């Protein structure tokens, strides 16, 4: 059996996840919620998860490293390895599950999940005092079987991002 892997230039619609959401907050405010550690730790993660800890080194080559706790008390670590930062326009990073020291690890609930996801988050104005975020995910350096797991997981990713966006929306409304 041959094993091919994907790289950023291999992005295709078949193996791309895309989600978009508008927020009742100016783009600058939404950007800060993503890029300031005190704010990021208030909303990041799926609905009903708690952010236990987060560090954020916002620069190309820097990393966000976080620990989430599920409603049933299980901890889950993740990291974002930043590749490109264009203030108030775009964040490009590699998303991975992580161990407590920041090393890459497998998805705690699905061994077949890709180790790395190439992520592009764009920020745009969509009206006075309103901003839109678009998120694109593509499996990165993934095997065929990992790409299949990713493709099969799009409904779950939509639910997860929808919950995360709900948390961000609530945070922006009360901040």
Residue 155: predicted pLDDT:
94
Mean pLDDT calculated for residue range 43-69: 96
Radius of gyration from C-alpha coordinates of the chain = 16
pTM, two decimal places: 0.90
DSSP structure string for 31-79:
HHHHH-HHHHHHH-SSTT-EEEEEEE--STT-EEEEEEE-TTS-EEEEE
Rounded to an integer, what distance in angstroms lies between the CA atom of residue 29 and that of residue 39? Answer: 10
Mean pLDDT rounded to a whole number for the chain: 92
Q: Report the topology of domain 16-174.
A: Alpha-D-Glucose-1,6-Bisphosphate; Chain A, domain 4 (3.30.530)
Residue 53: predicted pLDDT:
97
Query: Cβ neighbours of residue 152 under 8 Å, at least 6 residues apart?
Result: none
3-state DSSP call for residue 168? helix
Question: pLDDT of 59-94, one tens digit each?
Answer: 999 999 999 999 999 999 999 999 999 999 999 999
Rounded to an integer, what distance in angstroms lies between the CA atom of residue 5 and that of residue 160? Answer: 25
H/E stretch holding 27 reads helix 27-35
Question: pLDDT of 93-113, one tens digit each?
Answer: 999 999 999 999 999 888 999
């Amino acid at each position: 059996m041959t094993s091919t892997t994907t790289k950023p230039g291999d992005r295709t619609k078949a193996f791309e996840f895309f989600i978009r959401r508008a927020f009742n907050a100016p783009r600058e405010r939404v950007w800060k919620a993503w890029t300031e550690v005190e704010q990021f730790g208030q909303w990041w993660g799926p609905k009903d998860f708690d952010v236990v800890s987060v560090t954020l080194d916002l620069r190309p080559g820097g990393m966000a490293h976080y620990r989430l706790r599920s409603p049933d008390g299980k901890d889950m670590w993740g990291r974002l390895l930043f590749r490109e930062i264009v203030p108030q326009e775009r964040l490009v990073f590699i998303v991975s599950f992580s161990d407590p020291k920041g090393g890459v690890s497998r998805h705690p609930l699905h061994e077949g999940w890709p180790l790395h996801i190439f992520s592009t988050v764009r920020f745009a104005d969509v009206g006075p005092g309103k901003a839109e975020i678009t998120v694109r995910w593509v499996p990165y350096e993934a095997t065929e079987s990992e790409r299949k797991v990713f493709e099969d997981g799009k409904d779950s990713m939509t639910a997860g991002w929808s919950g995360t966006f709900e948390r961000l929306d609530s945070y922006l409304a009360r901040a």
